[in-house]
Amino acid sequence: KYKKDKYFFEKENNKFIINSRDDVVLYKRIYSIKKIPVKFGTILGDFYCYNLGLETLENCPHTVQGDFNCSDNNLISLKHGPKFVKKSYVCYNNKLITLKGACENTIDYFNCSKNKLITLEGCPKNILSTLFAQDNPSLESFNIPYASIYGNIYVSNSPKISLKGMPKLAGILNFEENTIRSLAQLNECNFEYGFTHRVKNENEKIKELEFLYHIKDDKWELKFFDKNLYNKTVKTAKSKFLLEQK
């Protein structure tokens, strides 16, 4: 829909580029589209292009001063996506195998859940709130030691995940329903607050585990949630902490 004074245009290489002073929401009428049919430039509000059937982000704006949402498409790459997003970047439920092409500036939060990622390499370097990366069945490692997450990280239901390449983290790491066999790498992680992990184990003695790290006394706390071991707590110094599930 066209609103007076909402859009302003510029010409580049004999092609018109659409800019907007407000939000832009692209709707799917009847048929899916593989790419956005017109070129956008600068969006001073939000830009939504979700659930369109997109296979590429070609013609996306280069700057979004609000939220960017390209969820529920058929994207395998974020190439051609915006280089700057001020608030949140959401690429949930696509077919992404890499995050390369995502914006590199500081953003509020980033959601790349329900994709086919192997690592999180390429995600923004600074995330002020939460990094959501759940339900990535092929996810093997973080591989983002350069990044700083000032909120929490969620990588639950990503059964192949290891802790390799963890970013700096000010909040909580949540990797529930995974099958991590060793927490030794946690000694190399840069936590400022703590982490939680709940895992279903085939071992009859221990059904579920939850791990908590307390920064104040530099202690690891391991809580067993089991009818025989309920409320039992084991504490050990961070430098000596090692747990192997066999």
- Higher pLDDT, residue 57 or 191: 57
pLDDT computed for residue 182 by the predictor: 52
Does the pLDDT at position 124 exceed 90? yes
Band the pLDDT of 231: cuts 50, 70, 90: very low
State how far the Cα of 227 lies from the Cα of 189, in Å rounded to an integer: 32
| pTM, two decimal places | 0.77
Residue-level pLDDT at 16: 85
Q: Classify 185 as helix, strand or coil.
A: helix
Share of the chain above pLDDT 70, in %: 67
Mean pLDDT of the chain, nearest integer: 76
Can you list the positions of beta strands (E) in 112-201?
A: 126-127, 131-132, 148-149, 153-154, 168-169, 172-174, 194-196, 198-200
> What pLDDT sits at residue 219?
47
Q: What is the pLDDT of residues 101-112, one digit of tens each?
A: 999 899 999 999
